[in-house]
Amino acid sequence: MESHGHSTNAPISVRVMRRDNPDATPRYEVFQIPHRQNMNVHMCLLEIQENPVTVEGTKTTPVAWDVNCLEEVCGSCTMIINGRARQACSTLVDTLEKPITIEPMTKFTVLRDLQVDRSRMFEDLKKTKSWVPIDGTHALGAGPRYAQDDQLVSYTLSRCMTCGCCVEACPQYGPGSAFIGPAVLSQVRRFNMHPTGKLNKGERLETVMGSGGITDCGSAQVCASVCPKEIPLLDSIAVVARDTTIHALTSWFGK
């Protein structure tokens, strides 16, 4: 018996927002692609890459998008699929309404087609020193111990893949605002509770007390509901808000 493992269903219609460079006016192109079993959106884009011909039969350029881990860990394939920010590698075609509409995220500069520049999030992680300082590159042995409860919270927070779904949904985040957004605030919480990361806690809090920091959060609360990793962003925002208040008071009285 012959089995090609594909074409079990009707072809799929995919509408892709195209843009050749950051300043180009976006346009849509529609493609008809064969259905394959367990197909995800990333595979749809691969089909188009192999045969970049629109439904009208016009030859076009292959669609550009970012991809890396293919297992919902790196966040690089995040795009707007049928109106919702999610990962192309983990979104299954069979769960989506057709035609499938694929667009780039709206809060970052679009470089080309579905590729966006998420470096702002990484810059904000740097600004808030969202890392654990180590002295040199030699092995330091086991670090200080975490309380078990803290360890669980920290693990949950560490699952953030800087995908940007939360900032896409956040009404306070965007090109016109300096707000660092919920993902970075959550990493501030994470590194502030780390036994070694704590050493920079004051500095981190002072950064998020400034413009673009915690007070820019308007508490719209949509960020937490869209996070694919179910990171408790509202708890993180509450913890950082409380800590900044305490820090402000203690520095005031400490003067």
List residues binding ligand FES (CB under 6 A): 67-70, 72-77, 87, 89
- Minimum CB distance to ligand SF4 smaller for 47 or for 72: 72
Is 101 or 172 the residue whose CB approaches ligand SF4 more closely?
A: 172
Residue of 92, 158, 218, 242 interacting with ligand SF4 (CB under 6 A): 218
Give 161 or 205: the residue with its C-beta nearer to ligand FES. Answer: 161
CA dihedral 70, 73, 76, 82 (to 10 degrees): 80
- Give the nearest distance from C-beta 160 to ligand FES in angstroms: 12
Q: How far is residue 215's CA from residue 218's CA, in Å, rounded to a whole number?
A: 8
Give the integer Cα–Cα distance in Å for 15 and 56: 13
Closest CA to 227 of 176, 150, 167, 178: 167
Which residues in the 160-179 window bind ligand SF4 by CB under 6 A? 160-166, 170, 172
CB 206 within 8 Å of CB 139: no
Give the residue, chosen from 193, 229, 239, 240, that forms a contact with ligand SF4 under the rule CB under 6 A. Answer: 229
Per-position x/- string for 198-217, each x denoting binding to ligand SF4 as judged by CB under 6 A, each - no binding: -------------------x
- Nearest to ligand SF4 of 40, 186 (CB atom): 186
State which residue, 69 or 222, has the beta carbon closest to ligand SF4. 222
> Distance between CA 7 and CA 14 in Å, rounded?
16
Supply the minimum distance, in Å, between the C-beta of residue 87 and ligand FES: 4
Q: Where are the alpha helices (DSSP H) in 137-232?
A: 148-158, 165-169, 181-193, 201-209, 222-226
Instruction: Find the shortest distance in angstroms from Cβ 148 to ligand FES.
Output: 29
Selected from 114, 231, 239, 240, the binder of ligand SF4 by CB under 6 A is: 231
CA angle 235, 87, 56 (to 5 degrees): 145
Q: How many residues bind ligand SF4 (CB under 6 A)?
A: 24
What number of other Cβ atoms are within 10 A of residue 128's Cβ?
A: 24
